[in-house]
Amino acid sequence: MLKNIFLKNKFNFFIAFLLLIVLILVRGVESKLFYDPFLVFFKRAYHYNIIPEINNGLLFLSYFFRYSINAILSIAIIYYLFKQRKAIKMLLIVYFGLFVVLIAAFYFFLYVCFIDWQVIFYVRRFLIQPLFLMLFVPAFLFQYLTNNVMQKAD
């Protein structure tokens, strides 16, 4: 069944693959494109518990810009894989809501209620990497396959 889906939609899968390559390229040039003092901090200095100098406005804009790029590319990948317009509208709302929650959690754990550097590290990771894509693609695939099986059973 999956083979048939792939054969029918080669062009869409090719576009999704190209978008995935762009996501990888964004990750490859992250230190040049985005302001993030935590890149070096989490590689070395977090053991010393010394917070790097942070320009909060620039950091927020950088995270917003990076999250937006990842979200747009992720939503485009999902669109080309599944061609569900209603789902895209829902994903836009979900991605926006997740950004609000994650950025609030990041600053809350950084300045208000510091627990551990790993908490900040993982919240930041959800902000700067397209991890939701890895969650949503299997969910949409499951939904797609379930709907097709149900339609054939009717």
pLDDT score for 152: 59
In angstroms, the Cα distances linking 121 to 8, 38, 84, 116, 129 are 41, 9, 33, 9, 12
pLDDT score for 105: 95
Q: Residue 2: is its pLDDT beyond 70? A: no
Domain of residue 43, residue span: 2-153
CB neighbours of residue 153 within 10 Å: 6
Per-residue confidence band for 8, with pLDDT thresholds at 50, 70 and 90: low
Q: Residue 45: is its pLDDT beyond 80? A: no
Length of the chain: 154
Per-residue confidence band for 22, with pLDDT thresholds at 50, 70 and 90: very high
Cα-Cα end-to-end distance for the chain = 18
Q: Residue 84: is its pLDDT beyond 60? A: yes
Residues 6+ apart with CB under 8 A from 3: none
CB neighbours of residue 99 within 10 Å: 17
pLDDT score for 17: 94
Better-scored residue on pLDDT, 123 or 150: 123
Measured CA to CA, the distance from residue 58 to residue 136 in angstroms comes to: 29
pLDDT score for 44: 73
The closest of 29, 2, 15 to 83, measured between CA atoms, is 15
Measured CA to CA, the distance from residue 83 to residue 76 in angstroms comes to: 10
Share of the chain above pLDDT 90, in %: 47
- Which letter does DSSP use for residue 129 in this model? S
Q: Residue 96: is its pLDDT beyond 80? A: yes
Q: Residue 52: is its pLDDT beyond 90? A: no
Summarize the confidence of residues 32-58 as an average pLDDT: 80
Q: What's the structural domain count of the chain?
A: 1
Measured CA to CA, the distance from residue 142 to residue 18 in angstroms comes to: 23
Per-residue confidence band for 37, with pLDDT thresholds at 50, 70 and 90: confident
